[in-house]
A and B are shown apart, each in its own frame.
Chain A
Amino acid sequence: MSLEQVVTSTAAFAYMPTSVEIVPLRDHATTSGLAMPRSLRALETEAIHVFREVAAEFERPVLLYSIGKDSSVLLHLACKAFAPAPLPFPLLHIESGWDFREMIEFRDRTARDQGLDLRVHYNAAARVAGVTPFSHGAAYADLVLTTALKQGLDRWGFDAAFGGGRRDEEKARAKERILSFRDAQHRWDPRNQRPELWRHYNGRIARGQKLRAFPLSNWTEADIWTYIHLENIPLVPLYFAKPRPVVRRDGALIMVDDERLPLHAGEQPRLERVRFRTLGCYPLTAATPSAATTVPEVIAELLASKESERSGRLVDSDQVASMERKKAEGYF
């Protein structure tokens, strides 16, 4: 067992701090006096419908939990879909080893507080081989994200995985069905997608085939934030502005989350008031200067923003149509 070797650990690294301050969200849901907009309620119902359908038809579903805001909404909706019964499937986090420390802390706290069955997987061979975002370029994402995801799904024999993907995120996602079928190698074939007729999802698969299900397909970024606010969903504090040590690199603000970030000549981390619009591997995720410390303030900044959400993800812009290529290879 070399490259495909798999190992699990939830407490892996020495650099990981034992405690991170979690900023409690201010509760505006009750004071705002706002009920949920009709359109958002329709999206909520649709997501719950997808959760129930897939959970009823597949033997080993799993919720892909990436700790970000979409995952938080996904988890919240999953719990609603089966309440008062407990969540009938586990969570899976694919750990890159370069996740923000606050993400890991938040993940473990969420699982503990809500009594969730959390599975964690990473590509051990890639770690041993010393694969980092700095040394391996584009191959990094393939090894620590795509390959690790496929390993993790195969390891526990999951036949259906819920993901937080939204069609408004990116043009390749806009073409994907809510139930997205993958071959035994987890590959997506955009030319051979099943029709989705009404809500009669055809969940029949051949042996070895797998399913990815996207209950949030029809949500927009603004829907996600509004829902987080109205439902008072806890988030990783990285989404809210606070002074953080950053360096400016190729026009992007990169947070120095630990001592492993190699500093270029002349680079000196400075404290800047920033937040993150999406979360991923910290050396590849650009921060945004911001003063927003509450969900409504984040939404207000979002409405005023002229840039798309994924523009802060350096991992997606490495080549034209990179998302389409990654999905075809098995990425979410």
Chain B
Amino acid sequence: MGGEIAFRRYAEGQHAKDLLRLITCGSVDDGKSTLIGRLLLDTGSLPEDVVRAAARDSERWGTNGDQLDVALLVDGLQSEREQGITIDVAHRYFDTARRKFILADTPGHEQYTRNMATAASTATAAVLLLDASRGLRPQTLRHACIARLMGVRQFIVAVNKMDLVGHDPAVYAQIVATTREALARLPSHEAHFVPLVARSGDNVVGRSAALDWYTGPTLLGLLETLDSSEPEAPELRLPVQYVARPNEHFRGYAGTISGGQLQVGDKVVALPAGVRSQVVSIDTAQGPRQQAAVGEAVMITLADQLDLGRGQVLAHLAAPPNVGTRFEAEVVWMAPQPLVAGDGLEFKFAHRYVAGSAARVVHRVDVADLGAHPAMTLGLNDVGRCEFVLAEPIAFDSYDEHRATGSFAIIDRVTHQTLGAGLVRSASRGRLIAAPEQVTRPQRAAQKHQRPAVVWLNGLSGSGKSTIGAALDRALFERGHHSYLLDGDGLRQGLNRDLGFSPPERRENLRRAAEAARLLADAGLIVIAAFISPLQSDRDAVRAIVGAELLVDVHVDAPLAECERRDPKGHYRRVRAGTLREFTGIDAPYEPPQSPDLRLDTLQLDLAAAVDRLLAYLEADGCLATA
């Protein structure tokens, strides 16, 4: 029966404990693994067989004479031991009478942003480790900067290896002063300092005789008193994560509440869809409830039969998130290839993948002095601010107010690797719209008895794009539809008058054309656009701006020889005469689309047949509904 009593004491103790998620960071060789090994060993968190194994390993790999090398308690991978480095984030678990700790140990070498961002995105405190004999190093300051950017506000500066400076209080005081000054540039944060010797354990868990001039708490003492609460937003946010439909009578929306609270009977709006309903039931891991709050995983049902998908965010009518396609965000870039404006990217917001791109790089932050510098691109390990544009509207918040709906991952569309982390700072001016009162695209379309679309005709000069586009426009008009033809030549005489024909200017020409098409489609029109769009990356960029759901990608296909024979504008003649250069298909590349929505072979089809094919496609796509 002794077991029952021991358990009861344990269970009651557990109940009083909270959970602190922290990261440790520091430069290579500052003794991080040693510190963590010491922390685990001295809190009694390691089983004896693990310590025995480390003792065996100490004889082979150890760097602490015949003493136990406590770093070997935590360096886990064979390849790490062989190279004497730490490869990836390791998670450690220990607890004291007061609290449980999840410690993410981040390595200090070249891929540090990837690991730092991974660890810091869920942490509430950071231990910055310094070597007393070397003082604050730039790498450590970078770590602090990234941790603060990711939202960590509490720092413990552990001044290690005090034995190497003769336990000298003057050296410590100097390091505290310079570090305090360096950290002062970080916005609102608190920093605590402790001198210690990780190798022998002085001031880690137990106090130190050699450092008796220091009267503050030990490292563990500090860890036990930090604020463990995660930032909690008062406004309701429930991103829909999973839709359960076991039968036709039940449609449950599951997700984790990331802000505020929810009650049965609450009126809610789902964004960006913009539809409203009322909460009928709330299920939690502990069974049905009348209300649930931030941090809880719930499954709710609504009063109306809606078809909400993943990524819709449920909020109260009075405090909705922003809805839009443009925003500025702080970016931590983790990929070897740079972030370049205009490159097609994929974004993962709360449970939703959206295509898009950076419209521009606003600036790059020099993490040494935290100054903002003008930049065109962001490289590996860079931190900076960008303006982004998405193919479809999403619901989002600023990161400072709502972490879950104010952050996103940036993903490579081809390799699917995670390229960067984003933190929303603001919606771009003029697009910050709360959707519920806005006239929506479906409403406009219903008024016009059609579904808007952007028919993007691409192909070589002379392939027949403009002719087919004009004929389609006429045919739609005669059937009573609302359409508009955007022509490359027309745009170049007005909106794009300032642009020439260099590759970047051609890209900008297309970007503006796509934005214009998007606006017209938003107004409910069926837009017909005739542009050469020579490269797959051009067409991808168009798709990112217009949105896959609106775009009809049409390849107007004719052999180059036939286009040159037609030569309606005399371009090919001038190219051959040498008066026109960098002409698509001749001395500038043309990549035919591999899988267009529709291919029109203008050698086979006459004009009327080509238009009929387009009309049939639009009809089948539901664009020409008349009801």
Contacts and interface: CB of A to CB of B under 8 A. Distances in A.
Contact of A174 (B12, B90, B351, B409): B90
Nearest to B347: A200
Contacts of A168: 92-93
Interface residues of A, number: 74
21 contacts: A39-B17, A39-B19, A45-B297, A49-B256, A52-B297, A55-B242, A56-B310, A82-B244, A167-B90, A172-B76, A175-B87, A190-B77, A190-B87, A194-B418, A195-B418, A202-B409, A202-B411, A294-B3, A296-B7, A296-B8, A308-B50
Interface stretch (A112-120, A129-137, A299-307): A299-307
Contact of A42 (B242, B295, B409): B295
Interface in B53-91: 74-79, 87-91
Interface residues of B, number: 77
Given A197-B118, A197-B421, A199-B404, A83 B411 contact: no
A200 B407 contact: yes
A80 B288 CA distance: 12
Given A49-B241, A320-B78, A218 B407 contact: no
A14 interface: no
A37 B15 contact: yes
A1 interface: no
A167 B93 contact: yes
Given A37-B15, A56-B310, 5 more contacts: A81-B242, A85-B250, A200-B408, A229-B11, A308-B49
Interface in B278-300: 283, 285-286, 295-297, 299
Contacts of A38: 17-19
B603 interface: no
A36 B14 CA distance: 9
Interface of B: 2-8, 10-12, 14-15, 17-19, 47-50, 74-79, 87-93, 100, 102, 114-115, 117-118, 121-122, 241-246, 250, 252, 254-256, 283, 285-286, 295-297, 299, 310, 334, 346, 348-351, 353, 403-404, 407-409, 411, 415-418, 421
B18 to A, nearest CB: 6
A127 interface: no
Nearest to B4: A296
B47 A305 contact: yes
Interface string A287-323: 0000110101111110111111101000000001100
A226 interface: yes
A218 B12 CA distance: 21
Nearest to A194: B418
Contact of A204 (B79, B296, B411): B411
Interface in A177-209: 190-191, 193-202, 204-206
A55 to B, nearest CB: 6
A32 B5 CA distance: 11
B47 A311 contact: yes
Contacts of B118: 195-197
Interface of A: 32, 34-42, 44-45, 48-49, 52-53, 55-56, 80-86, 88, 167-168, 170-172, 174-175, 190-191, 193-202, 204-206, 217-218, 220, 226, 229, 291-292, 294, 296-301, 303-309, 311, 320-321, 324-325
A34 B17 CA distance: 14
B10 to A, nearest CB: 6
B285 A45 contact: yes
A325 B78 CA distance: 9
A301 B3 contact: yes
A64 B408 CA distance: 30
A292 to B, nearest CB: 6
Nearest to B413: A204
B256 A45 contact: yes
A200 B349 contact: yes
Contacts of A229: 7, 11
Given A190-B87, A200-B349, A296-B4, A81 B77 contact: no
A170 B349 CA distance: 32
A36 to B, nearest CB: 8
A220 B408 CA distance: 29
Nearest to A34: B11
